[in-house]
Amino acid sequence: MEYGRIGKWKLVNRTLAYGVRTLVMGILNVTPDSFSDGGRFFDSTLAIRRAEQMLQEGADIIDVGGESTRPGASQVPEDEEIRRVAPVIRKLAIETGAIISVDTTKASVAAAAIDEGAEIINDISGLRFDPAIGEVAASARAGLILMHSRGTMETMHRPEPANEIIDEVIDGLRHSITEARVSEVCAESIAVDPGIGFGKTFEQNLQLLADLSLIAREFSGYPLVLGTSRKRFIGRLLGDLPTDDRLAGTMATVTAAVLNGADIVRVHDVRSAVQTVRVADALKRRGPAD
């Protein structure tokens, strides 16, 4: 077991070291229809309070999203998405100095978020939906997470299955990186995410997690982000448990992710994840006996 690929991820105003330990990205959904928290933090005051709590629990990054990507979710107009995320990002940036990511597939939303203090753009489409996000990231010198997904916003949760999911994810991420570089995004600002749950079958999600080291090796020059938190495949593994009962299963996948090469884990339950990655990092540093 080879311990972390130590590197530096260049963001708007700072550089974030990765590989020394696994970083934790806390999910903050300012939406009325998220699959995981049911709109609990749609009110901006509650959202900011939740972000502050995640920071106290040890979150390294707060990922703010204003549009749900759950199955069946309605698309949000750009101005409404900006209205949801901008005040939360502004207040967090001013009052906490936290590293903030915006989870969006729209260039206008990404630009507005950067103007308010976000330093990372998290694009679940890997520049497929709005390639201009690459130009926004390049202009601001922002961090850019390129995630692999399949299909459109309407079909990504029910596409035709891929035959060789590892190969498809690798090819898709390569293409996204190429597109980002064409837009002049700095290579040191790019991170990749294989997109667990986005257009993959139950079996393919398990395969991606079990074989994550193949993706980590393929993209060894980039931080590897993984988000499994509370996802449907975990509930299915545990007898169709509801979303709120998937904490233990989520932490098992976080451990597997760390041991197989993830540099950043994206989670709802920050306190549990911080404790989990601390143990997993210790195991990974030690490695197998000679």
Cα 261 to Cα 279: distance, rounded to the nearest angstrom:
15
Model confidence over 151-183: pLDDT tens digits? 777 666 666 767 899 999 999 999 999 999 999
CATH of 8-286, one of 3.20.20.20, 3.40.50.2300, 3.30.1360.10, 3.30.870.10: 3.20.20.20
Between the alpha carbon of residue 152 and those of residues 69, 105, 128, 158, 177, the distances in Å are 11, 11, 9, 10, 19
* Over residues 83-98, mean pLDDT: 95
Three-class SS of residue 145? strand
Highest average pLDDT, of 26-35, 38-47, 121-130, comes from: 121-130
| Spatial separation of the C-alpha atoms in residues 100 and 93, rounded to whole Å | 7
Q: DSSP code of 144?
A: E
In the chain, where are the structural domains located?
Answer: 8-286
Size of the chain in residues: 290
- pLDDT band for position 75 (50/70/90)? confident
Annotated catalytic residues are 231, 266
Angle formed by the axes of helices 202-210 and 165-182, nearest 10°:
70
Region 232-236: mean pLDDT is: 96
Q: At what angle do helices 132-140 and 165-182 cross, to 10 degrees?
A: 60
Q: Using a CB cutoff of 8 Å and minimum separation of 24, what contacts does 88-95 make?
A: 88/28, 88/30, 88/44, 88/47, 88/48, 88/51, 88/64, 89/64, 89/113, 89/116, 89/117, 89/118, 90/116, 90/117, 91/44, 91/48, 92/48, 92/51, 92/62, 92/64, 92/117, 93/117, 93/118, 95/48
Which tokens belong to 3?
Answer: 């311990």
Looking up tokens 């630009």, which residue turns up? Answer: 111
* Coil, helix or strand at residue 34: coil
Structure tokens at 237: 């593994």
153 versus 9: which is more confidently predicted?
9
Q: Are the CB atoms for 56 and 287 separated by under 8 Å?
A: no
How many secondary structure helices (H) and strands (E) does the chain include?
Answer: 10, 10
CA distance 68 to 113: 17
In the structure, what pLDDT confidence band is assigned to residue 17 with cuts at 50, 70 and 90?
A: very high
Q: Please say whether the beta carbons of 126 and 168 come within 8 A.
A: no
> Could you report the per-residue pLDDT of 186-230, keeping only the tens digit for each?
999 999 999 999 989 999 999 999 999 999 999 999 999 999 999
Residue 21 DSSP label: S
% of the chain surpassing 70 pLDDT: 90
> Each residue of 246-260: pLDDT tens digit?
999 999 999 999 999
Q: H/E/C letters for each residue in 181-243?
A: HHCCCCHHHEEEECCCCCCCCHHHHHHHHHCHHHHHHHCCCCCEEECCCCCHHHHHHCCCCCH
Which residues does residue 25 pair with via DSSP β-bridges, in sequence order? Answer: 61, 266
